[in-house]
Amino acid sequence: MNAYHDIDGVPCAASKEPLTEILRFKWGFRGYVVSDYGAIEMLKTFHHVAADEIEAAVQALEAGIDIELPRVKCYGEPLLKAVRDGIISETLIDEAISRILRVKFLLGLFDNPYINVEEAAGAFDKAEDRALALRAARESIILLKNDGILPLKKDLRAIAVIGPNTDTTRGLLGDYSYTVHLNCEVDAVKIATYLRQ
């Protein structure tokens, strides 16, 4: 998966150096690369290095991103148009597809493509998994009660929490929480506006 940021002004989603030259040629990675959520579209909306979804798709595929996530926006009709208009070669698409199919063959997905739904459903949401998640959550909340883990005095009455995310829900929940994803596109516009000031 690529990253959202840029390196020396080149967005990672459009950079062949990390995604192909280093990852595939230098390190010998033989799998496929998926886009970080919305990273391909962000070449247009956030980084402003692509004029439209067609350019974004071409840049990302040429850089080495094989699959667009979480939905097909640039790799659908825009990429098809790029092929029809001769902007990108089918050979490059064939290479991306071959990497994806290779992994599927190695996983045996073509030998046994169907699953037993009841059996698969029983593998998820088990009571012991929920118990472990609850224990991890309880044990990770150390700032609410100082039981000697923190290097603080027992009689301390207050702690100052300082920083730009101290009173924001987004800062408390993290960047991959559901509420953040609801506002992802709005936040990208706000960030881009702030960076241009």
Nearest by Cα to 60 from 26, 72, 196, 25: 72
36 is catalytic: yes
Cα–Cα dist 17/129, whole Å: 40
CB neighbour list of residue 43: distance below 8 Å, 6 or more residues apart: 11, 13, 14, 49, 50, 55, 56, 59, 60
Catalytic residue among 36, 111, 125, 187: 36
Catalytic residues: 36
